[in-house]
Structure 1
Amino acid sequence: MTVARTVELEGHIIDSGMMARCFGVVMDMGGEFEVEEFEVGRHKHAETYCRMMVTADTEAELRAIIHELNQNGATVADPRDATLEAAPDDQVVPIDFYSTTNHPTFVRVDGEWIPVEDCEMDCALVVDRSGDTITVGTKVLNAIEEGDLVVTGETGIRVEPPERPRNGGSSFGFMQGGVSSERPSASLIAEIADEMRSVRENDGSVLVVCGPAIIHAGGRDALADLVRAGYIDSLSAGNGFAVHDLERDLYGTSLGVDTETLEHPRKGHKHHIYTISEIGRAGGIEAAVENGTIESGVMYECVTNDVPFVLAGSIRDDGPLPDTITDAIEAQNAIREQAHEADLVLMLSTLLHSVAVGNCLPSTTKTVCVDINPATVTQLLDRGSAQAIGMVTDIGTFLPMLSDELLDGE
């Protein structure tokens, strides 16, 4: 005896690959499907509709298949309201809670489809009935409070994976995947610059995620110029990036190496710890800028131009700087706030920190990933953004080219 359920797919499901993925899910998981209705969109702006019956040997197998289909954009036909269960304790979710994707999501409550605010992967969905209107948001598990109404199961949930743009032609390609160092970097940099101009003109927000290699490779001045010119609206980095940037101002070195001559000055290996000491003596980065201890660099421009920054600490840090957030949960929350406000994110030569930011981004946020290591770029693009540019190049080459593209005409 088998069990069955009917699901629907609607939208540009053919050219986006959604229909093929859903067929594959059913077959790979041992189920069967029968297409009951299929209406093909007859031009590029017309949507396609597919209704199919999915069968499996057991209810457990069917639920697993339906879950995967849901993640790929399928919706159970004749949906009921979502199942809500109260969280039994702080930081504890009900069994079978719905774990989110980073795609736009809707939850059916009291017969209405309500959009989920601040979509983020690997969270719980929490329904809030306390206000005049019902809202649905995401919460990481450590933020769950006793009594929160948490969505469980798959009923009453609709996921909308991003579809291929109808206008085409953008290097922010739809799920473009492949990364190559042979790509035309000058034209891609020009397109990134155009997008940054567009974001600024529309009062959007550009978030830059920075790794220490920016300082080592000579991209510091170009990034500082972009901050000063108003093309960067917030900065996310680790303790190391800020220390090396500040060290470059105080001693002309980055991790003890002269960035101009590449020589190792005597006692240069101590410069980074001396830098941390000087910033601590001043009372923090902002105080060090205000009293004249720091006179240039990325952190200097952030303070001078009121560009907010988050420095997230790790167990590897020396010091750390007074401004570095050492509580991991506090740092995650600060990064999450930045990510939710961003319209464009530049991930520059830092894998781990970019992964942390990427985990907080909805799939609709445009991203640019730049690293000398192809594996790093591929891993970052695979985190789920539907509109991404990946470049395998030296960050010390990329940033000056981007700065020239944006600033030469000003």
Structure 2
Amino acid sequence: MTVARSVELEGHIIDSGMMQRCFGVVMDLGGNFDVEVFDVGKHKDEESYCRMIVQADDEDQLREILHELNQNGAHLSDPPNATLEPAPEDRVVPDGFYSTTNHPTKVRYDGEWLPVENIEMDCAVVVDPDGPRAYTKVLNAIDEDDLVVTDDAGVRVDPPERPRDSGGPFGFMQGGVSAERPSESLIRQIAEAVAETKAEGGSVLAVPGPAVVHSGAGDALARLVSEGYVDMLSAGNGFAVHDLESGRYGTSLGMNVETLENPRKGHKHHIYTISEVIRAGGIHEAVEEGLVDEGVMYECVENDVPYVLAGSIRDDGPLPDTMTDAVEAQNAIREQAHEADLVLMLATLLHSVAVGNCLPSTTRVVCVDINPATVTQLLDRGSAQAIGMVTDIGTFLPALAETILDE
């Protein structure tokens, strides 16, 4: 005996590929479907609507199909309230808890849809009846008796639809990877996206790696910070150390970034820099003492641009400003990510993926790295909204800064 439920799709479901994906989900999982209603939007600004009956051999198979359909934007025609179970103890979630995607999500509570606040992937959803409100919590932040959403009944996921055309400053951001050298037109489009974000009062988060300094592109990023085009910075201890080393000694990992020469004792410069900043008490104090008078970190201090430096097991020093507690660093990165409207990920695999994990799918992302694995891993990890460029950051970043600042 078969079981069946009615599901609905609406929006630009044809050109976004949503309908095709949903049909494929049902067939791949061994189910059947019967389209009852299909209203096609005949103009580019009109939406389409589809209602279909999904059939399966048993409840378990149907539940699996409906789960996958929900992740792709198809919703039950008669959704129930979300199932809530109290957390049995701190940092422990109920069995079968709903694990979030990074897409905009709602949960149904007492007959109403509550938007899930601070959406990001791989979190639990907690409902506060006093609001009522729904919000995400990472597992280590769960408190005993938190009402946690279990299963995905009463959960609605709305993946962002891709734009119908490439018009507008953000039209080009449709995901994917470009392995070409940075073209003038693509850099101009990214520059327009940054300018548009700022004009609308949004925030730009920069996520640079040490290669920004090694390649000689640190000055370009510093200019963007000083001119107000970067509102927040998230990086590792290594980036800050080599940026400060460059400002202090003109070298990065002991090499002069302009002449490419290795001065005598240059290999000790980054250790000297760390020692001097520690002696000063931190980056802010080093800037105030005049120890450093240029560079990205200098401009962050001078222009009150907040930064998060997350440590790792490899760090020399580390600097006093570096967060060595991984959970503390995650939470600090998460706060920045939730505030960002546009993220520039610049030649750093670990921090690109770390920040990407905290971003909702509605946040615009540009990822640039000479290693294609960085870009593809970011996209594969779930940040499908990112546009990726496989190119030299030392070429890309100065060209981007020049395009933004000269217009």
Fold equivalence (TM over 0.5): yes
TM-score range, shorter chain: over 0.9
Question: Does the residue aligned with 2:178 lie in a helix, a strand or coil?
Answer: coil
Q: Measure the CA separation in 2 of the matches of 1:162 and 1:385.
A: 12
Residue number in structure 1 paired with 2:17 = 17
Q: Measure the CA separation in 2 of the matches of 1:201 and 1:170.
A: 14
Q: Measure the CA separation in 2 of the matches of 1:237 and 1:144.
A: 27
2:376 alignment partner AA? T
Deviations 1:4-60 (A, max 9, x none): 222211111111111111111111122222222222222222222222222222322
Deviations 1:120-142 (A, max 9, x none): 11111111123xx3111111111
Q: How far off is 1:168 after superposition?
A: 3.6
Residue number in structure 2 paired with 1:27 = 27
Q: Where do residues 4-403 of structure 1 align in structure 2 (5 Å cutoff)? A: 4-130=4-130, 133-166=131-164, 168-170=166-168, 172-173=170-171, 176-182=174-180, 185-385=183-383, 387-403=385-401
Q: How far off is 1:153 after superposition?
A: 1.2
Question: Does the residue aligned with 1:226 lie in a helix, a strand or coil?
Answer: helix
Q: How far off is 1:179 after superposition?
A: 2.1
2:201 alignment partner AA? D
Let me know the Cα RMSD of the aligned residues. Answer: 1.7
Contact 1:91–1:143 (CA under 8 A) maintained in structure 2: yes
Contact 1:249–1:297 (CA under 8 A) maintained in structure 2: yes
1:329 alignment partner AA? V
Contact 1:172–1:387 (CA under 8 A) maintained in structure 2: no
Contact 2:180–2:389 (CA under 8 A) maintained in structure 1: no
1:141 alignment partner AA? L
Deviations 1:288-326 (A, max 9, x none): 000111111000000010000000011111111110001
Question: Does the residue aligned with 2:319 lie in a helix, a strand or coil?
Answer: coil
Question: Does the residue aligned with 2:177 lie in a helix, a strand or coil?
Answer: coil
Once structures 1 and 2 are overlaid, which stretch shifts more, 251-260 or 386-395?
Answer: 386-395
In structure 1, stretches of 5+ residues that fail to align are none
Q: How far off is 1:264 after superposition?
A: 2.1
Contact 2:102–2:361 (CA under 8 A) maintained in structure 1: yes
Question: Does the residue aligned with 2:122 lie in a helix, a strand or coil?
Answer: coil
Contact 2:214–2:257 (CA under 8 A) maintained in structure 1: yes
Q: Measure the CA separation in 1 of the matches of 2:250 and 2:10.
A: 58
In structure 2, stretches of 5+ residues that fail to align are none
Q: How far off is 1:181 after superposition?
A: 3.1
Contact 2:180–2:391 (CA under 8 A) maintained in structure 1: no
Contact 1:366–1:386 (CA under 8 A) maintained in structure 2: no
Once structures 1 and 2 are overlaid, which stretch shifts more, 299-308 or 377-386?
Answer: 377-386
Question: Does the residue aligned with 2:245 lie in a helix, a strand or coil?
Answer: helix
Contact 2:116–2:135 (CA under 8 A) maintained in structure 1: yes
Q: How far off is 1:3 after superposition?
A: 2.4
- Structure 1 pair 172–199 and aligned structure 2 pair: CA distance change class (3 A): closer
- Structure 1 pair 242–184 and aligned structure 2 pair: CA distance change class (3 A): closer
Question: Does the residue aligned with 2:386 lie in a helix, a strand or coil?
Answer: strand
**TM-score, normalised relative to structure 2:** 0.96
Q: Measure the CA separation in 2 of the matches of 1:87 and 1:345.
A: 34
Deviations 1:360-396 (A, max 9, x none): 1111111111111223223323444464332222111
Aligned-pair identity (%): 74
Once structures 1 and 2 are overlaid, which stretch shifts more, 156-165 or 370-379?
Answer: 370-379
1:144 alignment partner AA? I
Question: Does the residue aligned with 1:179 lie in a helix, a strand or coil?
Answer: strand
Once structures 1 and 2 are overlaid, which stretch shifts more, 249-258 or 293-302?
Answer: 249-258
2:364 alignment partner AA? K
Q: How far off is 1:338 after superposition?
A: 0.3
